Amino acid sequence: MVSSSASTVAQYLAELGEDRRGEISQIHQLCLDHLPQGLEEAMNWGMISYQVPLSRVPNTYNNQPLLYAAIASQKQYISLYLMSIYAFDGERERFEAAWKATGKRFSVGKACIRFRSVADVPLEVVRDALGRISVEKFIERYNEVRGSARKMKK
C-alpha cells in the first residue's frame, strides 16, 4: 500500500497484512506514547499523521495542518516521517548520528526514514526524537521559515 484512502487509523491498520499491521502498530504505539501534547492524530496524505491542528495554525502554506510526524506502509518498506527533526538542522544531525551509532542500517528519503522491520529501528533513538521538540517550538520554527521564504520572494 503506497497511499491509503482509509479515513481512520483503525481502518488503515485493518487494510494491512497481518505482519505489516504488527510492525506499523508498534511504531504507532511508540508515537502515541512519546509525541508531545498538542498534536492530533488523523489520516492525512494517505498515512497515519500526527499534525498541528488548524485551530492552532490556520494559515499554512497548503491550507493543511502542519505535519509533525507520520507513518506509512509502502510496498517494500515502512516510512517514518519526522518533520520535527527535519525542521531543525542540529536535531536532524543529532538523530542521524545517534541512529548510525547503533550500527543499524540508516536509509532516508527527502523527509523520511525507511526500514523493512521494527527490528531494524533503534527504538530508543526514535523515542527520544519524537518528544524532543515541543509543538510550540515546532510552530515557532515553521513561522520563522515561512517568514524568511516570503522575504526571499520579494
Instruction: Note the pLDDT tens digit of each residue in 49-59.
Output: 999 999 999 99
Instruction: Note the pLDDT tens digit of each residue in 75-94.
Output: 899 999 999 888 888 999 99
Residue 2 — very low, low, confident or very high, per pLDDT cuts 50/70/90?
low
pLDDT value at residue 152: 42
In degrees and rounded to multiples of 5, residue 52 shows phi and psi of: -80, 125
Residue 117 — very low, low, confident or very high, per pLDDT cuts 50/70/90?
very high
pTM listed for this prediction: 0.90
* Domains of the chain (ranges, CATH numbers): 9-153 (3.90.1150.200)
Count helices and strands in the chain by DSSP H and E runs: 6, 6
Share of the chain residues as helix, strand and coil, in percent rounded to the nearest 5: 45, 20, 35
pLDDT value at residue 58: 93
